[in-house]
């Protein structure tokens, strides 16, 4: 794992302050989307890619979801997520993993949640990892940022978050859908949610019928 990845040098506190900033509004939106799709899918096993501090994990119902796997490149993020949610989730497994370098099969999940991670990993790596870790009939939810001609990383006065812009690339929705189809995923839903700064989050719901 390379120390050059900007996400290894952005404190979680800074990231969470940025995401919840009034002009950004992504934290609350992603939390509500997590709640929505957990309720809709009711998975037994779920994987969160780029879990950071665990935003949305409070919506896990341990009577339904028996295994939660969180993946992130930053071990400090994972430590905080564990401290926050280990008492609530019966089986919480947090893995320090760079999916751009390791796409091996960890489990077969009913639900993989990939929110605002493709901008930093690329489409191919997330789809490859997901195909290797999803159950037949499983669901992949992907949220991407649509800038609508706005600045990639919104200015909030939090300096460290600017480092993320070094590896940020906007995701083309049509390319995502095309590559998902090539990988074996079928799109069954799509929604777009507006953000305070004029950007929006586009969320795709894919299902994996099997290879």
Q: How does pLDDT run across 152-184, given as a tens digit for each residue?
A: 455 545 566 676 666 688 899 999 999 999 999
**What is the rounded distance in angstroms from the CA atom of residue 200 to the CA atom of residue 209?**
29
30 domain residue, yes or no: yes
81 domain residue, yes or no: yes
Q: In angstroms, what is the C-alpha Rg of the chain?
A: 16
- Any idea which of 79-93, 100-114, 192-206 has the lowest mean pLDDT? 192-206
pLDDT (average), residues 1-7: 68
Instruction: Name the token pair of 187.
Output: 């799109």
Q: Is the pLDDT of residue 24 over 60?
A: no
pLDDT at position 77 is 94
Q: Is the pLDDT of residue 143 over 60?
A: yes
**What is the rounded distance in angstroms from the CA atom of residue 85 to the CA atom of residue 106?**
21
CATH number at 187 reads: 3.40.50.150
Q: Is the pLDDT of residue 108 over 50?
A: yes
The SS3 of residue 45 is: strand
- Global pTM? 0.89
Confidence of residue 62 (pLDDT cuts 50, 70, 90): very high
Q: What domain count does the chain have?
A: 1
Q: Is the pLDDT of residue 122 over 80?
A: yes
121 domain residue, yes or no: yes
Residues 144, 201: contact at Cβ < 8 Å?
yes
Report the mean per-residue pLDDT for the chain. Answer: 87
1 domain residue, yes or no: no
- Domain with 84 in it: 6-208
Per DSSP (E only), the strands in the chain are: 45-49, 67-72, 92-96, 109-115, 134-146, 186-194, 200-208
Q: Is the pLDDT of residue 22 over 70?
A: no
Q: Using alpha carbons, select from 14, 92, 3 the residue that is nearest to residue 51.
A: 92
More confident residue, 47 or 9: 47
pLDDT at position 211 is 63
Beta bridge partners of 186: 207
Q: Is the pLDDT of residue 1 over 50?
A: no
């Amino acid at each position: 794992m390379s120390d050059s990845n900007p996400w290894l040098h952005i404190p979680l506190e800074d990231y969470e302050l940025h995401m919840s900033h009034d002009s950004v509004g992504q934290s609350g939106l992603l939390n509500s989307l997590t709640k929505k799709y957990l309720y809709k899918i009711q998975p037994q096993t779920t994987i969160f890619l780029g879990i950071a501090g665990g935003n949305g994990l409070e919506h896990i119902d341990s009577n339904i979801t028996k295994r939660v796997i969180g993946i992130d490149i930053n071990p400090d993020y994972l430590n905080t997520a564990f401290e926050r949610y280990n008492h609530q989730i019966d089986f919480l497994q947090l893995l320090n993993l760079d999916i751009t370098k390791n796409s091996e099969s960890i489990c077969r999940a009913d639900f993989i949640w990939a929110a605002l991670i493709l901008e930093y990993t690329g489409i191919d790596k997330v789809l490859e990892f997901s195909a290797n870790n999803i159950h037949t009939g499983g669901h992949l939810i992907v949220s991407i940022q649509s800038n609508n001609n706005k600045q990639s990383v919104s200015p909030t006065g939090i300096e460290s978050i600017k480092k993320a812009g070094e590896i940020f690339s906007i995701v083309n929705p049509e390319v995502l859908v095309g590559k998902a189809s090539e990988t074996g995923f079928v799109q069954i839903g799509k929604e777009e949610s507006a953000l305070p700064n004029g950007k929006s989050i586009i969320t795709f719901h894919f299902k994996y019928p099997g290879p």
